A and B are shown apart, each in its own frame.
Chain A
């Protein structure tokens, strides 16, 4: 397994990014060479008199698929190091249909609109602007409509066709090749029939003047330089306030016994087997936000997971939120609160500590001793010592 030498490992992300410009350049060359800068040629796919879109796309899929999985099979390529599109079935079915509708309306898809505009086509510029508008509208809509967010987020899993059909990779690839080749033969026949009706796509007449080409080149170079410099611009150093503070399990136990009203406990475990901490809200990363939005502003939030590795909140959470993380997570809770070790030593202090530990353990195990537990003074720092801002809706 250690023979896999690809994909290449780069020491720095900057160097990996440099490969993008070369690969993108050849990508652009081949799209333009195929005629995909011309919206009429792309649209013709859907009126059957020029099937170049199908031919180019499926040839490319075949070459890349056979090449990649042959190398994976030979142990040269580590498939786990390659990013594979996860499947979100309904989002992809609906999004794909919309993509097709927009494709025939604009005559271009996102990638081809780039070569269309860079080969001088004004309709390519407008289509690309439209794509940005659509992306923005989606970002707004997904915030407004929970149904759309559900569609967008629902059912993520990584699935490959060989797993779905319970067939080996070579068999599936062979199937794809056979279907594609049959498609190529069919496409040639269909083209012949429909070309008689519409005629072939003629090439755009040559440019006679030089100036627009120079203007485009200068404009394009300017845009490219601006974009590259944007990408290389260092992100401004974020003033990161201390958001996460540790909290010992025993202190949390005391706070629960004291029934302090301003403590909110969030259970962030990925799998909730066995009991959690009493009074905790079981939430996931994404459902935590609405829970937090409904919290009283001065609430102290305590989060816990299985084993206390959780020291950073998900980035999608409100950035101004301060919180406590439970030391040792639920494991720490079990060993320190539910089944405490007897404190070492025989002094009065140790005896008092041990007694208190037993009282607390009894409280949480629901035994009769719980009645003797009295509320001690709060051990948590007062909630007023650190200010929290309400989550502000932007836009």
Chain B
């Protein structure tokens, strides 16, 4: 099947915006992604070191009172994202097991950047209590002050670093 083009960015933005709005109206909260990673760490933590997890400043609130860290709206939502991404890519003919990278970098180099970049993001999103979905998108739409500061700093960090990793992409 010939891959269909990506959606018009403004159409995609409207669909995404309506999805976010429905999350506010139906569930009383915005969207998120990094919560999934944090809660998975909390889940493993309760198995391996329950006391450390319960008293940890970053993880304690996920297991407060013996709560199941995975029983959370955002965790279920990410499972929906997983399914939506798969179905969308298959229907659009864009599903492909491959590695996205620029022509000037090896597969190993790209994977190292993906892992390292993921770790830096994971750290930053944990510190800021949210990522591009939870802070920039959801907090941005709510006009939360800190979320706007976060959003501007994401772009600042990306542009500041772009020159140094240009071999990966261009």
CB of A211, distance to nearest CB on chain B (Å) = 10
Within 8 A of A (CB), among B134-170: 134-162, 165-166, 168-170
Q: Inside 8 A of A137's CB, which chain B residues have their CB?
A: 119, 122-123
Q: Which residues of A contact B139 (CB under 8 A)?
A: 84-85
Q: Roughly how many angstroms separate A349 CA and B81 CA in the complex, as a whole number? A: 73
B6 touches A126 (CB 8 A): no
Known: A95-B150, A104-B165, A105-B165. A231 touches B157 (CB 8 A): no
Given A101-B158, A110-B121, A40-B101 contact (CB < 8 Å)? yes
Contact between B85 and A115 (Cβ–Cβ < 8 Å)?
yes
Q: When chains A and B are docked, how far (Å) is the Cα of A139 from the Cα of B46?
A: 13
Bound-state CA distance A116–B43 (Å) is: 24
* Contact call A106/B144, Cβ cutoff below 8 A: no
Q: Are A159 and B125 in contact (CB under 8 A)?
A: no
Question: Are A206 and B89 in contact (CB-based, < 8 A)?
Answer: no
How many whole Å from A272's CB to the nearest CB in chain B?
A: 23
Question: B166 contacts which chain A residues (CB < 8 A)?
Answer: 47
Complex: chain B residue closest to A137, CB-CB:
B123
| A residues contacting the other copy or chain, number (CB 8 A) | 163
B28 touches A228 (CB 8 A): no
Q: Given the complex of chains A and B, what is the CA–CA distance between A22 and B98 in angstroms?
A: 28
| Distance in angstroms between the alpha carbons of A127 and B100 in the assembled complex | 12
Choose from B90, B126, B145 the contact partner of A134 (Cβ within 8 Å): B126
CB within 8 Å of B: which of A246-297?
286, 289
A96-B135, A103-B154, A139-B58 known; A86+B127 contact, CB < 8 A? no
**Nearest CB of chain B from residue A67's CB, rounded to whole Å:** 4
Closest to A286 in B: B57
Q: Does A298 have its Cβ within 8 Å of any Cβ on chain B?
A: no
| Chain A, 29-72, CB within 8 A of any chain B CB | 29-35, 37-41, 43-47, 52, 55-65, 67-69, 71
Contact (Cβ within 8 A) B76 A121: no
A207 interfacial contact with B, CB 8 Å = yes
Query: Contact mask B33-62 → A, CB, 8 Å, 1/0?
Result: 110111011010100111111111111110
Residue in A113, A118, A129, A393 whose beta carbon sits within 8 Å of that of B86 in the complex: A118
**Pair B78/A231 contact, Cβ less than 8 Å:** no
Question: Which residues does chain B contribute within 8 Å of A55, judged by CB atoms?
Answer: 9-10, 13
Q: Are B98 and A103 in contact (CB under 8 A)?
A: no
Please determine whether B81 and A24 come into contact, CB atoms closer than 8 angstroms: yes
Q: Do A8 and B141 form a contact, CB below 8 Å, given A97-B153, A131-B119?
A: no
Chain A: which residue is nearest B64 at the CB level?
A315
Tell me the minimal C-beta distance from B169 to chain A in angstroms.
4
Contact A142/B58 with A25-B83, A85-B144, A98-B123 known, Cβ cut-off 8 Å: yes
CB-nearest residue of chain A to B135: A85
Among A147-155, A328-336, A354-362, A376-384, the one that faces the other chain is A147-155
Knowing A31-B16, A206-B3, say if A122 contacts B123 (CB, 8 Å): no
25 contacts between A and B (CB under 8 A): A18-B76, A46-B162, A55-B13, A58-B13, A59-B17, A63-B16, A64-B138, A65-B143, A88-B129, A94-B128, A96-B149, A105-B120, A106-B120, A110-B121, A111-B32, A130-B121, A161-B144, A203-B5, A206-B2, A207-B95, A223-B82, A230-B70, A232-B71, A236-B66, A319-B51
